[in-house]
């Protein structure tokens, strides 16, 4: 069981954060926008209320990646840190990979599975949604 607060930050250490409550959702996103931004096969996100997050150090650089969301990264090393949806301004998604203990939060599902990078073969048994988990069917195993 993870100890609160959760703590994390970017690779160079300029941006740090603490999270006072356990995330109420965590999932791995395979969409093309996440892939481009991290340069990696996929991103695992965890959702918490904005009021649970304390940012420290340098302010993250914000980029409006689409009409529905802003993404935040470290201005020095570029590490992807958060996704802020406009429809849910009270919650924020942070990257599990930037936690000091990235094993503290485990994803519950895969989203945008149809968009995954070729060659990705996972056997974690988690549900796989074709697109978003609220508005798309599961992929049949």
Partner 1 sequence: MAKLNGGCLCGDVRYTISAAPQHAVYCHCGMCRRSSGAPYTGWVVFTASAVKWTTAEPSEYKSSVQASRRHCRRCGSQISWQSVKRPEFMAITIGTLDTPDAVKPERHVFWADRVPGLEIQDGLPRT
Largest CA distance in the chain: 45
Residue 10 sits in the site that holds partner 1 (CB under 8 A): yes
Q: Which stretch binds partner 1 (CB under 8 A): 16-24, 50-58, 102-110, 129-137?
A: 102-110
141 touching partner 1, by CB under 8 A: no
Q: 44 vs 91, which CB is nearer to partner 1?
A: 44
Q: Which two tokens mark 9?
A: 């930050």
From CA 46, how far away is CA 6, in angstroms rounded? Answer: 12
Q: Does 89 bind partner 1 (CB under 8 A)?
A: no
Assess 59 for contact with partner 1 (CB under 8 A): no
In the complex with partner 1, the residue whose CB is nearer, 103 or 137, is: 103
- Which is nearest to 71 in space by CA: 90, 54, 86, 51? 86
Contact status: 16 vs partner 1 (CB under 8 A): no
Burial of 27 (0-12, 13-18, 19+ CB in 10 A): buried
Q: Which of 41, 49, 57, 85 binds partner 1 (CB under 8 A)?
A: 41
Which residues, including other chains, have CB under 8 Å from residue 19's CB and lie 6 or more apart? 4, 5, 6, 7, 8, 48, 52, 53, 54, 94
Verify binding: residue 122, partner 1, rule CB under 8 A: yes
Stretch that binds partner 1, among 16-24, 46-54, 60-68, 133-141 (CB under 8 A): 60-68
Q: What is the distance of C-alpha 45 from the center of its chain?
A: 2
Contact footprint for partner 1 (CB under 8 A):
9-12, 28, 33-44, 61, 63, 65, 71, 73-81, 95-98, 102-103, 106-107, 117-125
């Amino acid at each position: 069981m993870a100890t609160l607060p959760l703590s994390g930050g970017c690779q160079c250490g300029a941006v740090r954060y603490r999270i006072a409550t356990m995330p109420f959702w965590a999932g791995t996103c395979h969409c093309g926008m996440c892939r481009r931004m991290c340069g990696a096969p996929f991103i695992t996100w965890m959702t918490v209320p904005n009021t649970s997050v304390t940012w420290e150090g340098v302010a993250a650089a914000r980029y409006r990646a689409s009409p529905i969301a802003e993404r935040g990264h470290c201005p020095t090393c570029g590490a992807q840190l958060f996704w802020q949806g406009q429809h849910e301004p009270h919650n924020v998604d942070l990257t599990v990979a930037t936690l000091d203990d990235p094993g503290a939060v485990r994803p519950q599902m895969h989203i945008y599975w149809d968009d995954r990078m070729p060659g990705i073969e996972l056997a974690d048994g988690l549900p796989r949604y074709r697109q978003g988990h609220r508005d798309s069917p599961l992929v049949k195993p």
